[in-house]
């Protein structure tokens, strides 16, 4: 017998208990980073070991799992994690946001609004928003204890002094429940408003840094800003070239070496859903154009 | 003298029962005031409700010092059952406990005696698991805070009668504080430290 016998969802039960206790504390103290004994996972750090451990601890046989990487369901990271749980937990997987009960994400929040029956699990590389301003853990911990976040405002101010606007475009710091300043993981700041008052539970796992934190449903999440330089979400000023969406977050794709480029939705499920519904953009694939024409002709 | 063979059993399916129980507790903690049901059943000794037993099997182990309220601590069945199924060390000093089990709310010590966490590590606090009479009938309460869309209402019959007034210490202590899990048979309601509870109509 050489066949590997895994426990349900890979992790052993003692590890799951430890992670589950950390998750409960994280929910009780919104935005606070709870230390946990992160395990080695059968994938390298940086591939979402934190998110994978959180997902493994909450996942049950009834769950439907969706995994996205930068909004896409079909990149290496997303596929390998989805297959990992399909194999070790036997759960159903999906690419449709509204069918999923657990969505593990690397650096995007789906465009489709989440509902109260869903849990969003973020993969986090550096959980400490103050880390690049203050390298010492003892000091950042003290700063969180005292709610001393002046340094973060100085950083944003330096952006304004140098560029004339807040140039931070991703991992844009937020304040959770008017207390803890939190790193939303390197999501584009376009996604920050979706975290505020979200009906779904949001869990964050950082495997290498050994931290778990959470935003409970319906919790106030405010992006830090200044009265005269209010927070502004950023998106390329173009419609999606495939589905024509005017309000989704776009990826810029270089198409040749002569400066050609196209902008497409970063959320592949959202984009495909819109195309299937007959929306089309300037560079839509033919079948969708035909469909749209048929619809307009008849 | 109960032998191990006579102890009430744990979960029939350790892995999936623990997962299902955890999701109920997680949902309770994420949506304070909502009544969650614990589905998987385990044997429960003596004064312990089946919901409490399931939570114990799901969250307790050798890493979680456990404090028992007198009526539970006096029951050798409860102590033996916890020791056999969870391995959690039972401590006398409630200020170092990860969890406290309370079957008789009237015997709840002042909340300040439990671990409240520190400003740097507010997570190092005691989670109280209190058995109550009912979570569907009784006095009306209004809850506000993270996890609640506006106001949540709860009908509960709890002891001590002033439990929610006592929990007001959480307001000044935050981010330190006490998280509470209320259990009535298979029903669970969580009151994390961020939740503000007032009596209805007051």
**Residue A1: its pLDDT value, please?**
45
- The position carrying tokens 């106030």 is A220
By the CB < 8 Å criterion, does B21 face chain A? Answer: no
Find the range with the poorest average confidence among A7-21, A132-146, A278-292.
A278-292
Residues 6+ apart with CB under 8 A from A297: none
Mean pLDDT value across residues A257-274: 95
> What residues in A contact B121, CB-CB < 8 Å?
35, 141
**Residue A296: its pLDDT value, please?**
58
User: Mutate which of B146, B192, B193 to test chain A, going by most A C-beta atoms within 10 A?
Assistant: B146
| The two structure tokens encoding residue A8 | 């349900």
Residue spans per domain, chain A: 13-223, 250-297
If one counts every other C-beta atom within 10 angstroms of the C-beta of residue B202, the result is 7
Nearest by CB to residue B30, choosing from A16, A180, A217, is A217
Entry pTM: 0.95
pLDDT at A291 over 60: no
| The two structure tokens encoding residue A130 | 């103050």
Listed residue (B107, B70, B115, B65) closest to B86, CA to CA:
B65
B174 contacts A179? CB cut-off 8 A:
yes
- Do the Cβ atoms of A29 and A182 come closer than 8 Å? no
Listed residue (A153, A185, A198) closest to B147, CA to CA:
A198
Ramachandran region, residue B132 (left: φ > 0; alpha: ψ -120 to 50; beta: rest):
beta
- Do the Cβ atoms of A107 and A126 come closer than 8 Å? no
pLDDT tens sequence across A6-49: 899 999 999 999 999 999 999 999 999 999 999 999 999 989 99
- Do the Cβ atoms of A104 and A70 come closer than 8 Å? no
Percent of chain B with pLDDT over 70: 98
pLDDT at A92 over 90: yes
Percent of chain A with pLDDT over 90: 90
Mean pLDDT value across residues A144-171: 95
| The two structure tokens encoding residue A228 | 């005269």
B193 contacts A146? CB cut-off 8 A:
no
- Do the Cβ atoms of B61 and B88 come closer than 8 Å? yes
pLDDT tens sequence across A183-219: 999 999 999 999 999 999 999 999 999 999 999 999 9
User: 3-class SS at B95?
Assistant: helix
The residues of A carrying an active-site annotation are 31, 240, 243, 265, 271
| The two structure tokens encoding residue A199 | 């009906």
User: 3-class SS at B117?
Assistant: coil
If one counts every other C-beta atom within 10 angstroms of the C-beta of residue B172, the result is 8
By the CB < 8 Å criterion, does A149 face chain B? Answer: no
**Residue A290: its pLDDT value, please?**
53
pLDDT tens sequence across B3-13: 777 889 999 99
Give the count of Cβ contacts less than 8 A between chain A and B.
Answer: 110
- Which letter does DSSP use for residue B94 in this model? G
CATH of A13-223, one of 3.30.70.360, 3.40.630.10, 3.40.1160.10, 3.40.50.11310: 3.40.50.11310
Helices A13-28 and B50-59, packing angle to 10 deg: 110
Chain B residue at shortest CA distance from A37? B63
CATH of B11-105+112-199, one of 3.40.50.300, 3.40.50.11310, 1.20.1440.230, 3.30.420.340: 3.40.50.11310
- Do the Cβ atoms of A65 and A104 come closer than 8 Å? yes
Mean pLDDT value across residues A241-261: 94
d(CA A28, CA B194): 7
- Do the Cβ atoms of A206 and A248 come closer than 8 Å? no
By the CB < 8 Å criterion, does B31 face chain A? Answer: yes
| The two structure tokens encoding residue A74 | 């079909």
As a whole number of Å, the CA-based R_g of chain B is 16
Chain centre distance of CA A200? 13
- The position carrying tokens 């006096």 is B74
pLDDT at A297 over 60: no
A110-142: buried (b, 16+ CB within 10 Å) or exposed (e) per residue?
bbeebeeebbbbbbbbebbbbeeeeeeeeebbe
| The two structure tokens encoding residue B110 | 């002042």
d(CA B146, CA B193): 10
> What residues in B contact A117, CB-CB < 8 Å?
none
- Do the Cβ atoms of B99 and B183 come closer than 8 Å? no
Measure B149 CA to nearest chain A CA, in Å.
6
């Amino acid at each position: 017998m050489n066949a590997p016998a895994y426990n349900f969802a890979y992790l052993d039960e003692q590890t799951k208990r430890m992670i589950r206790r950390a998750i409960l504390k994280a929910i009780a103290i919104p935005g606070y980073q709870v230390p946990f004994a992160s395990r080695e996972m059968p994938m390298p750090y940086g591939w979402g070991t934190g998110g994978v451990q959180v997902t493994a601890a909450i996942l049950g046989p009834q769950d439907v799992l969706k995994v996205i990487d930068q909004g896409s369901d079909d990149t290496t990271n997303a596929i390998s994690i989805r297959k990992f749980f399909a194999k070790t937990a036997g759960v159903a997987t999906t690419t449709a946001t509204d069918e999923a009960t657990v969505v593990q994400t690397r650096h995007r929040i789906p465009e489709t609004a989440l509902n109260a029956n869903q849990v969003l699990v973020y993969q986090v590389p550096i959980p400490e928003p103050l880390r690049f301003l203050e390298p010492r853990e003892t000091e950042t911990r003290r700063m969180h204890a005292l709610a001393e976040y002046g340094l973060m405002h100085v950083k944003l101010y330096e952006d304004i002094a140098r560029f004339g606007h807040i140039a931070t475009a991703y991992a844009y710091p937020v304040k959770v429940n008017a207390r803890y300043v939190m790193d939303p993981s390197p999501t584009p700041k376009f996604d920050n408003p979706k975290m505020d008052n979200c009906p779904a539970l949001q869990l964050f796992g950082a495997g290498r840094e050994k931290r778990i934190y959470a935003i409970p449903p319906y919790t106030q999440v405010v992006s830090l800003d200044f009265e005269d330089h209010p927070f502004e979400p950023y998106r390329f000023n173009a419609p999606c070239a495939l589905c024509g969406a005017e309000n989704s977050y776009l990826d810029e794709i270089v198409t040749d070496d002569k400066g050609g480029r196209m902008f497409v939705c970063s959320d592949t499920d959202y984009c495909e859903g819109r195309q299937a519904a007959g929306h089309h953009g300037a560079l839509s694939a033919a079948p969708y154009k035909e469909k749209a024409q048929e619809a307009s002709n008849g | 003298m109960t032998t191990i063979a006579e102890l009430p059993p744990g979960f029939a399916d350790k892995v999936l029962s623990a997962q299902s129980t955890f999701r109920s507790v997680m949902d309770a903690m994420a949506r304070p005031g909502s009544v969650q049901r614990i589905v998987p059943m385990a044997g429960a000794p003596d004064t312990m409700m089946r919901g409490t037993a399931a939570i114990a099997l799901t969250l307790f182990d050798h890493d979680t010092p456990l404090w028992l309220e007198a009526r539970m601590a006096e029951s050798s069945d409860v102590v033996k059952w916890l020791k056999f199924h969870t391995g959690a060390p039972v401590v006398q000093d409630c200020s170092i406990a990860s969890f406290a089990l309370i079957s008789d709310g009237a015997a709840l010590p002042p909340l300040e005696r439990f671990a409240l966490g520190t400003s740097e590590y507010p997570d190092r606090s005691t989670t109280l698991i209190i058995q109550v009479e009912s979570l569907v009938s009784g006095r009306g309460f209004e809850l506000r805070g993270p996890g609640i869309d506006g106001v949540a209402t709860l009908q509960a019959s709890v002891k001590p009668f002033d439990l929610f007034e006592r929990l007001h210490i959480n307001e000044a202590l935050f981010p330190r504080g006490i998280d509470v899990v209320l259990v009535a048979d298979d029903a669970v309601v969580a009151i994390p430290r961020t939740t503000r509870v007032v009596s209805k109509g007051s």
